[in-house]
Amino acid sequence: MRRISIFGATGSIGQNTIDLIADGDGFAVEVLTGGRNVALLAAQARRVRARLAVTAHEECRAELQDALAGSGIEVAAGTQALLEAADRPADWTMSAIVGAAGLAPGFRALAQGRTLALANKESLVTAGPLLMAEAARHNATILPVDSEHSAVFQALVGEDMAAVERVIITASGGAFRDWPLEKLASATLAQASAHPNWAMGQRITIDSASMFNKSLEIIEAREYFGISPNQIEVVIHPQSMIHALVGFCDGALMAHLGPPDMRHAIGYALNWPDRRALPVARLDLAAIGTLSFQAPDLARYPALRLARDVMATGGLAGAAFNAAKEIALDHFIVGGLSFVAMAGIVEDTLCQLSGAGVLTKLPDSLDTVLAMDHLARRTANDIVAAWQGKQG
């Protein structure tokens, strides 16, 4: 029996993971965690007969207890409980909390020396070297779940990294790919939350429209595969059928294709190093007919330029970048910031912190990274407040 824990079970990745394991044999579910969606968390815990269900919010404890009364499933609540749940022995842990909040539980799960399936790209963006070192220290395996990184990982099986010339990750271009630039300032939350190809959580969907998601993924690729920034390219591919390509020194390009369905990348990580049948659609290439590509326009997607600056700075710049992006996104979601203003807030936050000389410190501990996360959130919030003051 493989013991499985899922952090962020109630989210888009979490639900897909539950769907894959609920129908499979040989899985014993140790921990499921969620946020305020207590009814879903309780239903999932009953469905897979989890031993422990944890809500991240103390105030949701009673509701979760009521929903699981008589089930024999343990209940816990709060941030500390989330960390303790990561100490429970599990052979395979899915890290699918959204945002920097996913870093500490995933980091802690590595101490068990097992497999961490990493959907939470923010972990690598904020603390890549630290996370990889912790995995090595405990002889744990990190498997990528982001579709592009899973694709690269699969294209690299049996290959020598020394023969890799470049990695190309594809981007759909998001909701506003074909919008006139001048219209972007008026983009609404509903418009930004509608992805043309993928069904995902709201935050990553908006990040796809701004390409902040792709900017996180460039950094994620650098950290995961240990390649240099100039070896990572982004190409817009509106059909989202090719997820990534690896270019080798002999000029060969190995592409990974599949339908835009996260169950593929999740299932690959679940079955690795084997492959097993997955309930995903098979591509009909003749029906698709044409796959197209175009270079991303940096004026439309300033986030891509910022990712390059962040990689050049190194140190704690990734933690600051992600935190500022999360704050800008929070403000866009509640209506306090326009879609195009988000990149400006992130850039100003990085400028201010860089001026203060704090970005180049090494991410040598979780506390150092979390301290930068907090500082960047405060800084970004102040910049938003000043910006809003000027507007009105």
Please list, residue by residue across 62-87, b when 16 or more beta carbons sit within 10 angstroms of its beta carbon and e when fewer do: ebbbebbeeeebebbbbeebbebbbe
Complex with ligand NAD: residue 322 or 349, whichever CB lies closer: 322
Q: Report which of 187, 155, 186, 152 is spatially closest to residue 170, judged by C-alpha positions.
A: 152
Q: Which is nearer to ligand NAD, 154 or 358 (CB)?
A: 154
Is 96 a binding residue for ligand NAD by CB under 6 A? The answer is: yes
User: What whole-number distance in Å separates Cα of residue 27 and Cα of residue 43?
Assistant: 17
Q: Which stretch binds Mg ion (CB under 5 A): 143-151, 183-191, 227-235, 247-255?
A: 143-151
**Dihedral angle at the C-alpha atoms of 66, 67, 70, 72, nearest 10 degrees?**
-110
> In the set 30, 63, 134, 146, which binds Mg ion (CB under 5 A)?
146
Report the residue closest to ligand NAD, judged by CB: 11
- Closest Cα to residue 325, out of 343, 308, 309, 337? 343
35 binds ligand NAD (CB under 6 A): yes
Residue 56 interacts with ligand NAD (CB under 6 A)? yes
123's contact among ligand NAD, Mg ion, none, with CB below 5 to 8 A by partner kind, is none
Q: Is 11 in the site for ligand NAD (CB under 6 A)?
A: yes
**Hey, which residues between 145 and 184 contact ligand NAD (CB under 6 A)?**
146
Closest to ligand NAD by CB, 175 vs 358, is 175
Q: Which does 379 bind (CB under 5 to 8 A by kind): Mg ion, ligand NAD, none?
A: none
Candidate segments 5-13, 58-66, 233-241, 350-358, binder of ligand NAD by CB under 6 A? 5-13
DSSP assignment of 306-369, as one string? HHHHHHHH-TTHHHHHHHHHHHHHHHHHHTSS-TTHHHHHHHHHHHHHHHTT-TTS---SHHHH
**CB-based burial label for 153 (10 Å; 0-12, 13-18, 19+):** buried
Chain residues 204-263 in contact with ligand NAD, contact rule CB under 6 A: 204, 262
Residue 98 binding: pick among Mg ion, ligand NAD, none (C-beta 5-8 Å cut-off by kind):
ligand NAD
